[in-house]
Structure 1
């Protein structure tokens, strides 16, 4: 096999017959060398072959010691990447820095688990939980008809699943505009002005759904907005486009405007950023520990050091099936 051949994480997952999250875990632990090309992670064919050979040897050497019988469909080679007796991976989805802080506290305080971060949007996070690919998902999805955050979407997607919804934080969302707000944008209705150039978020993100709901409520057709199909994958990317003059307006959270600079923020709504945890029997102990962390002084003190967070509901269970 040529050393010039390389694979994406999706292709690696197909070859090994594992999930993409397993591939990301292997990369994070350094067991599968990788490099980035643009926004894609790539793995050379030679490194993949070396990993497969090492995994086969590990399983072969373990057979006399364990003498195990695996259930039908169990991929021993793939599962050995986690370690039979190693820590259990707990996948946490979402893009806010508060989730990185939570993962750090979990890693320190909950033995036997290994937090893994998956940086995907709110709707994709819930879908990943429905598919059994994640353990803790974050979501900030507005239902425009009721003004309620998250629960209308959670109830529809997780039908029949036992779960807990707990608040992580609240934060301001609104419009990124050029310094000095030259177009004098003050409300969602102003997005209907002709000639405005928008930069959008990807489908499935909370900011994209917030925008779409506001456009629907104000009778604004997305097709009439220049740049509606121009997408960025995070708040900083959107704010950066506005700061660079490539767009007149974008939707996102206050914190990203402060990070990017050279852009003004118009707050329009306080969004609720919640966590969803599946209530499986095997999750009982670590869920209890996570709730303890969320209500701890040390975690709240770290969150309070980040500007733009409202912690008045942090750690409160909002809904439980």
Structure 2
């Protein structure tokens, strides 16, 4: 009949009972309870189950929400990351080293491919926030920045494996992910830099971008990168240098994106100046934005992953295979959300789904690549 009390629920049973001129005994008899149960509810020791709450509301001629309601959270200090101007108060919140950071749920970097429920609502001024989830939920939620669309699949598996843990994924280039990690704005950074000879690109990227870093570099997956083109490949694109042909409209990625770095390296090796490519400076911020431009006839070629091209029914011209890794600071290895994500990557159910994505190879998933 009873459930454990919740500090977030306010009980007005005594106030409403007195207004209706019922004693505890009278109300208990009408509802079919013992007087002690009414006393415990009014004292805040217990919350009734749904059936009892409905009977109380009926006898007292009011609503359940009038008797029991959720305590509104007070506004707390928060730092808004990324967005300079914001029109939507809905934000995703990351608690990192006891500080609250808010990321807008609107704007170019807000979502992978889905809308998300907010963790909080910004107050005017954008430096205070009303939290919409419990402190325990906030403590157990990890933030992953990166541009691999499969990160969202990891997030879903994390919640399936442990319902009190969560992994929020937000789009950012490899360079931006590392910068945000260095500034303390995320728990995990996803990167996929390209190897140069025998030098591991991701390890070298960490050494240059994160001075005195202590933590782990954990493999997420291998995937194929290349050029997305319309079905049938009407311009017969075979390699990056073909982008310099007349009549080809191309859309690029932003500076700092690993795919743009890959393209630039390929063009330099072929002695092709960037200016030879039409619309080289036309930028999109995600793989899916580039795919949509091709679908709508705005451009002919865009950088992306084989999995994204397949999802949008486009053809794909492979350039290379690269390993995407997760960069995790040492002090976050005990974080509930981070630990659950690492455990999830060891599970066959997640690895099997990841392997089903076109161009993905999960043979390395969960492997520790390096310790710093």
Q: TM-score, with normalisation over the residues of structure 1?
A: 0.72
- Deviation string 1:282-309 (CA, Å, 9 cap, x unpaired) is 5335455433221111221332343331
Pick aligned residue for 1:18 from 79, 84, 103? 79
User: SS at the partner of 2:256?
Assistant: coil
Whether the aligned pair in 1 keeps the contact of 2:91 and 2:105 (CA below 8 Å) is no
Whether the aligned pair in 1 keeps the contact of 2:92 and 2:105 (CA below 8 Å) is no
| 1:224 pairs with 2:285 | no
Shift of 1:139: 1.0
Instruction: Determine the structure 1 residue equivalent to 2:240.
Output: 188
Whether the aligned pair in 2 keeps the contact of 1:142 and 1:206 (CA below 8 Å) is yes
Pick aligned residue for 2:326 from 275, 282, 285? 275
Pick aligned residue for 1:100 from 148, 152, 155? 152
Pick aligned residue for 1:284 from 305, 330, 334? 334
Whether the aligned pair in 1 keeps the contact of 2:150 and 2:354 (CA below 8 Å) is yes
Instruction: Determine the structure 1 residue equivalent to 2:64.
Output: none
User: SS at the partner of 2:79?
Assistant: coil
Unaligned runs of 5+ in 2: 1-76, 94-101, 112-120
Instruction: Determine the structure 1 residue equivalent to 2:58.
Output: none
Following the alignment from structure 1 to structure 2, what is the Cα–Cα distance between the partners of residues 305 and 35? Answer: 29
Within a 5 Å distance, the mapping from 1:163-178 to structure 2 comes to 163-178=215-230
| 1:205 pairs with 2:257 | yes
- Deviation string 1:140-187 (CA, Å, 9 cap, x unpaired) is 122556574322211111120102111111111111223322322212
Of 121-130 and 109-118, deviating more is: 109-118
Of 293-302 and 81-90, deviating more is: 81-90
Whether the aligned pair in 2 keeps the contact of 1:165 and 1:318 (CA below 8 Å) is yes
Instruction: Determine the structure 1 residue equivalent to 2:348.
Output: 297
Instruction: Determine the structure 2 residue equivalent to 1:157.
Output: 209
Whether the aligned pair in 2 keeps the contact of 1:87 and 1:112 (CA below 8 Å) is no
User: SS at the partner of 2:344?
Assistant: helix
| 1:27 pairs with 2:91 | yes
Asked which structure has the greater CA Rg, the reply is: 2
Within a 5 Å distance, the mapping from 1:109-128 to structure 2 comes to 109=161, 113-128=165-180
Whether the aligned pair in 2 keeps the contact of 1:149 and 1:272 (CA below 8 Å) is no
Whether the aligned pair in 2 keeps the contact of 1:123 and 1:141 (CA below 8 Å) is no
Whether the aligned pair in 1 keeps the contact of 2:219 and 2:368 (CA below 8 Å) is yes
Q: TM-score, with normalisation over the residues of structure 2?
A: 0.63
Please tell me the root mean square deviation across aligned C-alpha atoms, in Å. Answer: 3.6
Higher relative contact order (CA 8 A, sep 6+): 1
Shift of 1:276: 0.9
Instruction: Determine the structure 2 residue equivalent to 1:142.
Output: 194
Instruction: Determine the structure 2 residue equivalent to 1:90.
Output: 142
Following the alignment from structure 2 to structure 1, what is the Cα–Cα distance between the partners of residues 134 and 125? Answer: 14
Shift of 1:37: 8.1
Whether the aligned pair in 2 keeps the contact of 1:144 and 1:214 (CA below 8 Å) is no
Of 155-164 and 239-248, deviating more is: 239-248
Within a 5 Å distance, the mapping from 1:24-103 to structure 2 comes to 27-28=91-92, 49=123, 87-88=138-139, 89-103=141-155
